[in-house]
Chains A and B, each alone.
Chain A
Amino acid sequence: MKLNTLRRHFRESLKSLGRNGWMTFASISAVTVTLLLVGVFLVIMLNIQHITKQIERDVEIRVHVDLSATEADKDALRAKLEALSGVEKVTYSSKDEELQKLIDSFGEDGKSFRLFEQDNPLSDVFIVKAKNPLDTATIAKQIETFPSVGKVKYGKGQIEKLFAATKTIRNVGLALIIGLLFTAMFLISNTIKITIFARRREIEIMRLVGATNGFIRWPFFLEGLWLGVFGAIVPIAIVLSAYSYVFDLLYPKLKDTFFQLLPFYPFAWQLAAVLVLLGACIGMWGSMMSVRRFLKV
């Protein structure tokens, strides 16, 4: 396409936005509201995902070795654990190491546990990590049947609840986002339809003097694109400033827990890019839908 033609398409599409002022305003508002909600959901969902990932990473199975087990039994158990499908890593922690960890984790108060160094009541432990955290429960159940295994601990119940909750939030958010995107798309498609209607004489003449369909479509295509992209500006501003505020507020309080929020950069850029892209996509798609119906191809 020639540069002049492209310039002409740009000019025509922008002129059309002005000519249909109120419809333009309505469409941009629809995109704005949609992307605002989409943005909020995205921020929440991505943060939840981020947090779950961290928690998931910490999920491990602690296999307590039976006190009566011999060294040979331990080696056999280790081999069996490593042979299990879905197991990523098996680490051994002797009962002395376990006691040391316990003492360390209590800080100053840990000193009182020193008494047990003479007669350690803890068991040796194999720490098993699953490749996929979701398999943890199944793997743990299998391990329980192995010989020379005492207790098997993996935070039973809590993990399942966590996984179920994140899944629900993800699905509800996704359904809402898709519904909203469709609404905005139909509004844009209606705006373009009105634009096309206002210019149908022009289109008729274009067709008679030999303009290609592609040429006729371009200005409408661009108009849809503008509606979508302009609609993304306000949501980006609101969502990002709100996130920056919430982040600064929560960061000091969450610093020492494993509930870590996504850091502001590069998350802000990514979110802005996603919203602009979504706006552009619904804009172009909406305009394509109405142009196709209006132009005999």
Chain B
Amino acid sequence: MIEMQDVYKTYPNGVIALNGISVRIKQGEFVYVVGPSGAGKSTFIKMMYREEKPTSGKIMINGVNLANIKDSKVPLLRRNIGIVFQDFKLLPKLTVYENVAFALEVIEESPKNIRKRVMEVLDLVRLKHKARFYPDELSGGEQQRVSIARSIVNNPTIVIADEPTGNLDPDTSWEIMDIFERINDRGTTIVMATHNREIVNTIRKRVIAIERGKIVRDEVKGEYGYEA
């Protein structure tokens, strides 16, 4: 469960990124966040994993207010949230398996569990057969699937994706969406910022549109609503 109440964010350089956002996303929902570039989408997303702190307002994630948790508690928060980026953020010197295992190693999971969990998620993203490959031996879509596998390997309740299909061709984008839907089916909340009109209009989900730091539209099974 994600809940924002009157969230404002002004950056030190005076830019107002969020101008009073209130929203509630229930556990297990699939939400698209759309809007023009520079409208505050990224800031909205970053608030949820506390890469940015709100200037004022409340952000509750699973009952914890991110606006006033200590810096030292942020790592624990992030273990409950999976994050996927447009540029994958894989480590080039590690294999697919090692990249995914890395997320569990750094939170000190036992080696036995690591092996089991990594193979499970690689199976889910259909990359078990490429576990020993290095990222630069994979296509863009496959790399994104590795990064999705990494984001869900510690069983987060929420997956946040910032334009996950931004660097991918249309066919590959559908593959990625298929994986997100399957993750969502298991009860994981998905919040996905996107510019992909076709996907939003085809796989109908809740759409939150942000413009000039405000939510201007919030529809169940909504449309992309902007000219491409």
Contacts and interface: CB of A to CB of B under 8 A. Distances in A.
A212 interface: yes
A297 B91 CA distance: 23
Contact of B111 (A4, A202, A207, A212): A4
Contacts of B75: 207, 210-213
B219 interface: no
Contact of A205 (B49, B72, B79, B102): B102
A105 to B, nearest CB: 74
A204 interface: yes
B106 A210 contact: yes
A143 to B, nearest CB: 66
Nearest to B114: A4
A209 B111 contact: no
Nearest to A212: B75
Interface string B122-148: 000000000000000000000000000
Interface in B63-85: 71-72, 75-79, 83
B150 interface: yes
Interface residues of B, number: 21
Interface string A188-208: 000000000000011011111
A1 B107 CA distance: 11
A2 B108 contact: yes
Interface residues of A, number: 21
A215 interface: yes
B89 A211 contact: no
B71 A297 contact: yes
Interface string A255-287: 000000000000000000000000000000000
Interface string A1-36: 110110010000000000000000000000000000
B120 interface: no
A215 B107 CA distance: 8
B124 to A, nearest CB: 17
B89 A208 contact: yes
A211 B106 contact: yes
Contacts of A205: 89, 91, 102-103
B181 interface: no
A102 B78 CA distance: 87
Interface of A is mostly: helix
A125 to B, nearest CB: 72
Contacts of A297: 71
B194 interface: no
B76 A204 contact: no
B13 interface: no
Contact of B108 (A5, A207, A208): A5
B6 interface: no
Contacts of B202: none
B154 interface: yes
A209 B108 contact: no
Nearest to B76: A210
Given A4-B111, A5-B108, A201-B89, A209 B76 contact: no
Contacts of B105: 8
B103 to A, nearest CB: 4
Interface in B39-61: 49
Contacts of B154: 209-210
Interface in A206-240: 206-213, 215-216
A86 to B, nearest CB: 55
Interface in A161-176: none
Contact of A4 (B78, B110, B150): B110
A8 B103 CA distance: 14
B102 A210 contact: no
A204 B89 contact: yes
B89 A215 contact: no
A107 B130 CA distance: 96
A210 B91 contact: no
Nearest to B153: A209
Contacts of B102: 205-206, 209
10 contacts: A2-B108, A4-B110, A205-B103, A207-B75, A209-B106, A209-B154, A210-B106, A210-B154, A211-B106, A297-B71
Given A8-B105, A209-B150, A212-B75, 6 more contacts: A204-B89, A207-B75, A207-B78, A209-B83, A210-B75, A211-B106
List 5 tightest A-B contacts by C-beta distance, closest first.
A211-B106, A210-B78, A210-B79, A209-B103, A210-B75
